[in-house]
Amino acid sequence: MKSTLASLVLLLLLGTLIAPPASAQAPKAQLFTVTDVQVKPAKASIFEAGVKRQIELAYPGVFYASNTDDFHYYFVEPIANYAGIDTMNFREAAWMNGAGKDNIAALMKSLEGAIYHFDTYVFLQDPDLSYWPAKPRLKEGESKFVYWGFAYVEWGKEKEFEDIFKQWVALYKSKDVTSGWETYVGKFGADLPVYVWDMAGKSAADFFTEDENITKLLGEEAVKTLNEKTMACFRKFEFKTGRFRPDLSNLPKRK
């Protein structure tokens, strides 16, 4: 589905914003907050050092990080419901008090001039619009390259778009494709309506080679037909490439 859409416009996906699951079992629908930080290229190493320092200061929230080649850093944190946003804010205030005024001041000082701006959104990971292969091609840790597709859908065409995406899922399942994707639906704060999906590869070359292989497996005519239906729903489409950043993530402790 990646290149499938990608083949027409050099297609791309927030998400996952986090890495596709290694298991074939699809998760339940999950809300996430997404903090999108646009960093000045010359200050990227300073910004990354600041994120690592935040983690060292025992930041209590779990978040998953990735960054794109145009220096956007995405920090994704799962929440149980919209009230979880208040929980995050209270938790962060408590953490800042506990970490110490001097440590927080030094951290903020170190980041001066590194950031253009940041935005915060809420997205819903939708299993019905995602595809998890029964036997994934990539093993855990092999997803070094990420492709994100940002589909800004015409208002009123959301159901049509979702129905078409479910056709992509059915087509991939029918051919037992071993590469999958995750789809996220914008709920708050973003340029709505918007859908974001991500796919991964070992490298850019591996990703686009696999994309060509998938198109052949699915059938070029079937791909062309679904591409045209999909594109007809867009008011705007963007793609980004980048990588998952476990070194900038505050991952849950393994039991």
Radius of gyration (Cα) for the chain, nearest Å?
Answer: 19
Residue-wise pLDDT tens digits, 87-120: 888 988 999 999 999 999 999 999 999 999 999 9
Distance of CA 1 to the CA centre of its chain: 15
- pLDDT at position 89: 87
String of b and e for 27-52 (b: at least 16 CB within 10 Å)? eeebbbbbebbebeeebeebbbebbe
Cα dist. 255→57, 124, 252 in Å?
22, 27, 9
Rounded distance, CA 90 to CA 238, Å? 34
Residue with tokens 């859409």: 5
Judge contact between 145 and 206, C-beta under 8 A.
yes
Judge contact between 91 and 130, C-beta under 8 A.
no
Residue 89: CB atoms within 10 Å: 10
Q: Which amino acid is at 62?
A: V
DSSP 171: H
- pLDDT at position 194: 97
Most distant CA atoms of the chain, gap in Å = 62
- pLDDT at position 140: 86
Rounded distance, CA 183 to CA 165, Å? 9
Residue 97: CB atoms within 10 Å: 10
Q: Which amino acid is at 135?
A: K
Structure tokens at 225: 């037909």
Residue numbers in the chain where pLDDT is lower than 70: 1-27, 254-255
Residue-wise pLDDT tens digits, 39-78: 999 999 999 999 999 999 999 989 999 999 999 999 999 9
- pLDDT at position 58: 93
Rounded distance, CA 112 to CA 108, Å? 7
| pTM to 2 decimal places | 0.85
Nearest to 164 by CA among 211, 215, 232, 212: 232
Q: Which CATH architecture has domain 2-248?
A: 2-Layer Sandwich (3.30)
- pLDDT at position 25: 54
Rounded distance, CA 39 to CA 112, Å? 11
- pLDDT at position 254: 61
- pLDDT at position 255: 54
